[in-house]
Structure 1
């Protein structure tokens, strides 16, 4: 049985919008038409792809698996259209960016907006592991991450190097220091990002290599939460130097006695690096 393209396309639109109404508006068709296309796909195979409760729709387990496939399918279709006709002049188009810090990407987006006013952008912030996953899942076109990657499916260039630094509340016992050896972290409370964060991974590795054991570790889910926890005296925070913003009540400290240099990389799926939008992003990053 040949699968219905219109049915797949309708399913993907609804799954992406999480709404029949929103998908119909995006595709510029009536909701009954869209509903009929999805129902036709379900009936043809005797399956249920959505659980419907009023205006709310939720993917069934089978629907979730199908959505992974259609995401790849329609990403490839968009790629082909872009390559053949769409954005070669970059007069229009939409670029999806994932980054482990807004600090590392905003200057590039600002430059691209100046050069190509017709482009639109969406930006997702996550830890280094999450942004690579978004590239692999076709949820983002390009990403900036501190995680070096040797996967042959990923095209990567090194953007810059950055150093990890510590910072404390100005009431902390270590606030009088400009520099601290890594040994000074022994027995101290530390505030770090969640697992998957390259900041945490590198810092914990350096402590382990040096045989340093902190007292307590407070795990939080964002850089903003790290800053707030440190400001309220929960311990020593660790961030990239480029991410630290001087403000009242916080003191920056350089860590010595170990290598805290970490690379930052621009990545995309290898087969997508020649797309005009993706290529332009890489070129703009390198220009800056």
Structure 2
């Protein structure tokens, strides 16, 4: 079986279309389509059902995809292990985290790490979607909930809390809510449940103290916690924010101090195959030490 065609098939199965796979592979849509057709002819089976909205794997395609995914996953892990230095941490370390957590919490704390380990090249991938660690989309993930895949190792990193914040100019115009029920008369900014949120129960403020006969309507939905903070700072309304995004921020006032959102537990996650990776070990221990010292808090 042709490895190049198999690699293209795997990319198409992951992307669900020739066009998107071509963008990933830096190939034209027609070139990708020709390679898939050639693979199907050599195997004498159809691998995809072709529809106007995209591609769906056939039963034979599903079988080939599962096998190819496992093979490429093991090859990626072998590549990572072969590149690992036995003496000192060295090489690329791809770390993924949510955009808000990675920008506001993780990035500022990396100054000391890159000084301690100059041979480790940190590649920070900030995505609210979960990257596939088994396919080396990243080596390490910091996730806001325990991983579902059993082959991933997890270590609890820290617990974060969310509170309600507003800007002084907003409170001057609209008053300070005294109880959760008072939120009915205020402008609330939310992430929006139609987008996949980076953490569970992100829009808890819409339900806190609400009456069934008076559902709340947000003044703004925006699928970025950073954008929510900016909107609050501008005086547009009030919102729930993680404490680490508000502690050092100007123009933010915590209100309803007795009101606290669901706790968020962050986990340090990596594949079983990279258990002995020196880069991952020193990065994990560095973050745990900083959390214990109180220098990186939630």
TM range (shorter): 0.5 to 0.7
User: Does the CA contact (< 8 Å) of 2:120 and 2:279 recur in 1?
Assistant: no
Deviation at 1:176, TM superposition (A): 9.6
Does the alignment pair 1:61 with 2:46? no
Q: How does 1:5-44 map to 2 (within 5 A)?
A: 5-9=3-7, 11-12=9-10, 18-19=21-22, 40-44=38-42
Aligned to 2:105: 104
Deviation at 1:136, TM superposition (A): 7.0
Which structure 2 residue ranges, 5 or more long, are not aligned?
291-298
User: Does the CA contact (< 8 Å) of 1:180 and 1:253 recur in 2?
Assistant: no
Q: TM-score, normalised by structure 1?
A: 0.68
Aligned to 1:91: 90
Cα distance, 1:241–1:22 mapped onto 2, change above 3 Å: same
Give the aligned CA root-mean-square deviation in angstroms. Answer: 4.3
User: Does the CA contact (< 8 Å) of 1:175 and 1:251 recur in 2?
Assistant: no
- Of Structure 1 and Structure 2, the greater strand share is in 1
Deviation at 1:226, TM superposition (A): 1.3
Does the alignment pair 1:264 with 2:285? no
1:223 to 222, 225, 235: 225
SS in 2 for 1:140: coil
User: Does the CA contact (< 8 Å) of 1:178 and 1:252 recur in 2?
Assistant: no
For residues 187-214 of structure 1, the C-alpha deviation after alignment (integer angstroms, 9 at most, x for no partner) is 433112133436671551x775x64356
Q: How many residues align?
A: 263
Measure, in 1, the Cα distance between the counterparts of 2:24 and 2:106: 34
Aligned to 2:294: none
For residues 156-207 of structure 1, the C-alpha deviation after alignment (integer angstroms, 9 at most, x for no partner) is 2222232212222333236898996544434433112133436671551x77
User: Does the CA contact (< 8 Å) of 2:168 and 2:235 recur in 1?
Assistant: no
Aligned to 1:246: 249
Deviation at 1:153, TM superposition (A): 3.9
User: Does the CA contact (< 8 Å) of 1:155 and 1:269 recur in 2?
Assistant: yes
